[in-house]
A and B are shown apart, each in its own frame.
Chain A
Amino acid sequence: MPAYADISEKIKARFPEAVVNDQQTSDEFPTLWIEKNQIVSVLGFLKNEPGLDFRFLYDLSAIDEQARNNRQGQPASIYTLVYLLFSFSRNQFLRIKAALNSEKASAPTITSVWPSANWYEREVFDMFGINFEGHPHLTRILMPHYWEGYPLQKKHPARATEMGKFQLPEEQMLAQQDVLQFKPEDWGLTARSRTSDEFMFLNLGPQHPGTHGVLRLVLQMDGEYIVNVVPDIGFHHRGAEKMGERQSWHTYIPYTDRVEYLSGVQNNLPYVMSVEKMGGIESPDRAKVIRIMLCELFRISSHLVWYGTFAQDLGMMTPVFLTFYDRERLFSIIEAICGDRMHPNWFRIGGVAQDLPEGWETLVKDFLNYFPPRLKEYDKMVMKNRIFKARTVGIGVFNTEEAIEWGVTGPGLRATGLEWDFRKKQPYSGYDQFEFDVPVAVNGDCYDRAWVHVEEMRQSIRIIEQCMKNMPAGPYKSHNALTTPPDKKNTMYDIETLINHFVNVTWGPVIAPTEGFCSIESSKGNNGYYLVSDGSTTSYRTRIRTPSFPHIQFVPYYSKGYTIADLMAILGGVDFVLSDIDR
């Protein structure tokens, strides 16, 4: 991995006045503050300059700095834009910040550099009220269009009790319903084509069996062929990021479970690892292996749901029942270990909640014997089925270049031929100790994405087997003072431990002022948590970067010209969860 020093040097050489500051954070990569007026050219430079190659816009968010304590050494700022870039050739993240110093903040759009910035900037506008000059369609994206205020501003209330009594008179209800009416002109779409054939606008969702949740797509159609797709998201928005600003570091863990509700503890992992980075906590080996084992169990569980529902989208009725049956068996293991099934809330800052129960090996071993033959059966039933192939081969094709441009990670990216798995490339939690392959396909169509998913389940089985055989002994939780819940063994013998325990349980641990980011290869793509601490018991800003958000933004780009039936295959192949899009 090359060092970072050359990056700021190169920027300084090209744009002498652009770099304002070089901030130190708890993650391993630097944070450069860039003059806001130069942000477009600097980002374009970072993207295209050979040797830098930050071709991937990983995340774009903002911070409302107005209530923040302890931000010594950072430039003055009211709102800060945070761009997180990733370079595949350097295997590095890079954080760029831009200070906006007015109450009515405004910044240039970077949609000219990355088309995928479109939704991210809309989200920042929606949440912070920051205007992006030149943005093609700057409207609210997660909140309803009639919403007043910007939720992630510090002055916006977080609780219903702070907002006054809720009332919905009839006229207001009708007005709010009218807002949801789709007006093609708002989106720059026309009702008639050049040859004056009339297009049909089909409202697909938010209640539709093919969208797996409250996703709304408006299709502009010519007969059964799709001319354009306009996704409308936000129906599943629950303010997970705002919630993070109210919950203590510890009590936020259960909320993360629900961000991507199919892969349970896989959401806990990036969050607790971020906090661990910030607090300098090292979790013990046993905890790491337990984490990996549960993550892989959940990867299989999530892929099983995807497998069944994908087949069902293509009209197959049976696989979904069979895969849910298998998932049920998985849940019985997860239940035995964690006590809960879908949202186990199992990882803790510095370890896991409890040790593995007696007899867990038997349960896991039973599953390892049971599952591979089932996968073979599904191969015969689904993957080798000729109608299934006819429906998926050559449908929804995109290449590696486009995938990177639009922010695709996970199985979707690997199906285009790029062997990129963060478990291998930036091993976390001890994944480098495990032997497994990264399945890669070449064509980037729906069938290849399906194939990658199926092979990943086989690899997860291998990892779980290794976890089972090599589970290290030792504590399941770190002895660090910031670990939650804190170690209780010595509380009655030692006043320091008693105080520590008391404070950490009542208030929760205090994380020193810093920023931290950690991301993992979740079942659907790269899932990352960017946390900002200003030295209190809660996070100052919690940013959740989820894979499904850019994946759904990408859908319109590669689903034009197909039929509705193909769109269902494409949506199924994306493997998204609505809660993962909206948070």
Chain B
Amino acid sequence: MNQTLMQILIIAGVLLGTVTIAAGLIYVERKMLAVWQQRLGPNRVGPFGIFQVLADMVKIFFKEDWIPSFVDKKVFIIAPTIIMLSVLMSFAIVPFAPGIVVADLNIGLLFFLAMSSLGAYTIVLSGWASNNKYSLLGGVRGAAQMISYEVFMGLSLMGVVIQAGSFNMTEIVNAQQGMWFVIPQFIGFIIFLIAGVAETHRLPFDLPEAESELIAGFHSEYSGMKFGMFFVGEYLGITLVSSLITVLFFGGWLGPAFLPPIIWFLMKMFVFILFFILLRATLPRPRYDQLMSYGWKFLLPLSLLNVLVTGAIVLFNN
């Protein structure tokens, strides 16, 4: 009984926590971008503008839930929910601290990869259902990009799996007691980072939206809360990828004992979130074919090589 209650509490906590962090990121991103761009950023609502998120939320919730007449109605409505669902489901396997994990699956990592593949549907379906050429172009770009980067993302993680000897996230963290995997798996880390940016389609990999070319790409036709779902989904994605980088390469909750494990986890995660925002502030967007050839011609061989070398070393040590 107690255990069930505990489990429910954890689920509720993770759900609320991640969504709150994702929403809070709206403020963080706007403020940090402003700092880097010599602006003030939100500063009207509440002290330092911290209630900006609330204002944004109120606005977006009360917008008219409008569906253009020419769209494929059912798919149009389902599409934005997929990204929310798949990302939130992925959080189930993230161990935030010892014991604080929704589902300690023994195939945790595979579960995450499966869920992130589902995320591609949201772009494809919304692009398709919008019945708009810009959305379609965005959807096609998004599908190609996510499917190709999925490949390296999976491969880049295999090194970690080989070293930890498990797909289970908690065990992967525990395997990093001696040394964080970022050191032996540095190449894997870089590839995962790049693939992670591509998965969340943030700048410089925001080709599915590419506002200067495709207006807003796959979500051009969306407004109100449906747009809000894409929006929050994107921030959830950032949070997810940041927490996975923390778990897989930076020892998860591990850290000196003067702070509780969960704090260590959050601190590491926020560093990567800020890195994501910094990327957006600095880099231009490559062209679609450049992105693809970079992926297939450079990242794929590199990640294969990484798996090969890691495997050989582990085999040799045994």
Contact = CB atoms under 8 A, between A and B. Distances in A.
Bound together: yes
Interface of A: 200, 202, 208-210, 224, 311-318, 321-322, 325, 381-382, 385, 387-388, 390-391, 563-568
Given A318-B281, A387-B285, A313 B36 contact: no
B287 A321 contact: no
B175 to A, nearest CB: 36
16 contacts: A202-B134, A209-B211, A313-B212, A315-B283, A316-B282, A317-B33, A322-B37, A381-B282, A387-B284, A388-B284, A390-B286, A391-B284, A391-B285, A563-B287, A563-B288, A565-B287
A108 to B, nearest CB: 40
A399 to B, nearest CB: 23
B284 A311 contact: yes
B210 interface: yes
B203 interface: yes
Given A387-B283, A564-B214, 11 more contacts: A200-B133, A311-B284, A314-B285, A316-B283, A318-B282, A321-B38, A321-B39, A382-B284, A387-B284, A387-B285, A564-B213
A315 B281 contact: no
Nearest to B133: A202
Contacts of A210: 212-213
B268 interface: no
B280 A208 contact: no
Contacts of A209: 211-212, 215
Nearest to B137: A224
A318 B33 CA distance: 8
Contacts of B36: 318
A283 to B, nearest CB: 39
Interface residues of B, number: 28
B150 interface: no
Contact of A385 (B38, B134, B210, B283): B283
A382 B281 CA distance: 12
Contact of B286 (A322, A381, A387): A387
A208 B215 contact: yes
Contacts of A313: 212
Contacts of B137: 224, 564
Most A C-beta atoms less than 10 A away, residue of B134, B137, B213: B213
B70 to A, nearest CB: 15
A314 B134 CA distance: 17
B214 A317 contact: no
B204 interface: yes
Nearest to A325: B38
B274 to A, nearest CB: 15
Most chain A beta-carbon neighbours within 10 Å: one of B39, B210, B283, B289: B283
A228 B103 CA distance: 54
A312 B210 CA distance: 11
B206 interface: yes
B11 to A, nearest CB: 37
Q: Which of A200, A315, A565 counts the most chain B CB atoms within 10 A?
A: A315
B318 interface: no
B38 A314 contact: no
B284 A565 contact: no
B288 A312 contact: no
Contact of B284 (A316, A325, A563, A566): A316
B281 A317 contact: yes
Contacts of B38: 321-322, 325
B37 A315 contact: no
A195 to B, nearest CB: 20
A565 B211 CA distance: 11
A349 B288 CA distance: 53
B3 interface: no
A312 B281 CA distance: 11
Interface string B185-219: 00000000000000000011010001111110000
Task: Give 5 closest A-B pairs by Cβ, nearest first.
Answer: A315-B285, A321-B37, A316-B284, A314-B284, A210-B212
Given A321-B38, A564-B214, A315 B133 contact: no
A390 B287 contact: yes
Nearest to A385: B284
Given A321-B39, A322-B38, A563-B289, A568 B203 contact: no
Nearest to A569: B287
A220 B48 CA distance: 49
Contacts of B284: 311, 314-316, 382, 385, 387-388, 391
A116 B203 CA distance: 39
B58 to A, nearest CB: 26
B4 interface: no
Contacts of A316: 282-285
Contact of B210 (A315, A325, A382, A567): A315
Contact of B213 (A317, A381, A382, A565): A565
B290 interface: yes
Contacts of B37: 317-318, 321-322
A390 B286 CA distance: 7
A564 B213 CA distance: 7
Contacts of B134: 202
Nearest to B287: A565
Contact of B212 (A200, A312, A385, A388): A312
Pick the most buried of A313, A316, A567: most chain B CB atoms within 10 A of its CB. Answer: A316
A487 B212 CA distance: 51
Contacts of A322: 37-38
